[in-house]
Amino acid sequence: MISFYRSMIAGVLLLACSTSPGSGVTPAKDAGPVQVEASVPRAQQPAHWDNEIRSKELLDENPDPAIVEVSLEAKLETVAVPGGPSLTLWTFNGQVPGPTIRVRKGNELRVKVKNSLPEPTTIHWHGVRVPNRMDGTEMVQKPIEPGATFVYDYVLKDEGTYWYHPHVKSSPQVGFGLYGALIVEPELPDGLPEDLPIVLSDLSVDKDEKLAPGNESGGFGDFFGREGKYVLVNGRVSAKVTMRSGLGQRWRFVNAARARYFSLAFPGLEVHRIGGDGGRMEKSIKIQNTLLVPGERAEFFVVATGAAGSVTNVENKSYDRFHAGASPGTSTPLFQVSVSADAAVSKEVPPAKLVTIPRIDVSSLKERPFEFSQVPLNAPTGFGINGKQMKDLEPFVAQRNTDELWTVTNASGMDHPFHLHGFFFQVVKFNGVAPPVLEWKDTINLIPKDTMQIAVQFDNRPGMWMFHCHILDHADAGMMAMLNVE
Ligand code: C2O
Ligand code: CU
Ligand code: CU
């Protein structure tokens, strides 16, 4: 299975060719696909279509329509995982994943966080262009002590699918259950169907089916990246969504696992990728499968093509992060999709053109090379950037309000998802080839020897940021660097 960028470059994707304009929701059978439009009313989703998959959302406590104010309490709670074990997890508000936070672009978000955990924590807003002091790293704030509170407060500048997670002892704290989705809707309705956030993660347990200690398997765990026994879809081992044949749904995926890659396949469904890390992409692309690495997001427009009453599964294919030539991937059902008994509607397709993204001009940018590598001089589990672990690296320095051209290469023998805090980038070339569709990214996978050129846009938010591998065990083991934007 190949990653989205590798497959997009290799041209194995089917490019979107959805052009027929639609009107109404029940045209004649042979009318062809119907392109969704904001102005055209659409059929209803089946009754209770999302009951067995959707996570709870937080209610806005502030009457001002421009301000969304919510409360999160990080605390231990015994959770009965649907289809899995019952055990004590680290939760936000007693649930895993933590509640979905939903805001609109331009809103101010205030999150009052209470730490009722036995150790300090923070919240990082992955992908969001927050002011530096709101980034949730130890570079910019003192961790929130047990019993203490902290208010994160910032304005959302971009639509898209984001997520939140602690940034101290990230691998254990995320592994214990601390993560949730942050959905930023555009200012104006985009005409796409109501969305379904789908947070993918996993859960490590010991032989008594209790939560594993977080440092299980010691150095091996650090090196290989810890993958848990239970794979969770919005906190469920057994999740299920119901679709009406022909009617589109918008799925917003987040990979919140600390190390597990998800290689998604969609038999029986027609799937268009419509967005990535930082909101909608320029154009939709029809896909059959996709790789979603830790930290990464992807938005899909999904249509069931099966007959009323049929059942299919979104599948997860095993993925070999070490390229060890392991036997071909097995496919396991990730969640069930059942097609309701409602009469089919004419097959919907997303708009061909989604948004306009200005392309960063890369003709005269400051260039910088970065290399993700194993650091053999240290422990065998040492990982670093440009040959050094985080503790031995000086911060890199960039200037605010400039763009830079970074070349990021994976010089190690295994995959690493590169993630940059605070700023989006555009992929200029991936292994020498320009991607056919523009989108904003903050997390992207590199397999051994992959090299990408990315254009990074530093706006006017100075401060100490960071970039790292999002296999959190690798980040904790040193594959992390600071970036001082002056
Ligand atoms: Cu999800 Cu430092 O990141
Ligand atoms: Cu981040
Ligand atoms: Cu890594």
Tell which atom from ligand 1 comes closest to the C-alpha of 137: 2
User: In which band, very low, low, confident or very high, does the pLDDT at 2 lie, cut at 50, 70 and 90?
Assistant: low
Tell which atom from ligand 1 comes closest to the C-alpha of 421: 2
* Residue 26 in this model has a pLDDT that exceeds 70: no
From the CA of 475, the nearest ligand is 3
Continuous segment of H or E residues that includes residue 339: strand 331-339
User: In which band, very low, low, confident or very high, does the pLDDT at 380 lie, cut at 50, 70 and 90?
Assistant: low
- Answering whether pTM is above 0.85, one says yes
Which residue minimizes the CA distance to atom 1 of ligand 1? Answer: 126
Report the amino acid identity of residue 170.
Answer: S
pLDDT in tens, 412-449: 999 999 999 999 999 999 999 999 999 999 999 999 99
Say what the pLDDT of residue 352 is.
Answer: 84
- Lowest-pLDDT range, 24-33, 51-60, 136-145, 427-436? 24-33
Say what the pLDDT of residue 36 is.
Answer: 87
From the CA of 167, the nearest ligand is 1
CA-CA distances (angstroms) from residue 274 to 35, 329, 371?
A: 13, 26, 30
**Coil, strand or helix at 220:** helix
Per DSSP bridges, beta strands 366-374 and 195-203 are: unpaired
Rounded-to-integer distance, Cα 339 and Cα 45, Å = 11
Answer whether 117's CB lies under 8 Å from 214's CB. no
User: In which band, very low, low, confident or very high, does the pLDDT at 377 lie, cut at 50, 70 and 90?
Assistant: low
Rounded-to-integer distance, Cα 162 and Cα 127, Å = 6
Report the amino acid identity of residue 290.
Answer: T
Residue 258, ligand 1, Cβ within 6 A: no
**Coil, strand or helix at 40:** coil
Rounded-to-integer distance, Cα 359 and Cα 38, Å = 26
The candidate with the shortest Cα–Cα distance to 422, out of 442, 449, 437, 396, is: 442
Mean pLDDT of the chain: 92
pLDDT in tens, 320-329: 999 988 776 7
- Mean pLDDT across 296-303: 98
- Mean pLDDT across 341-352: 93
pLDDT in tens, 130-149: 999 999 999 999 999 999 99
Rounded-to-integer distance, Cα 277 and Cα 287, Å = 17
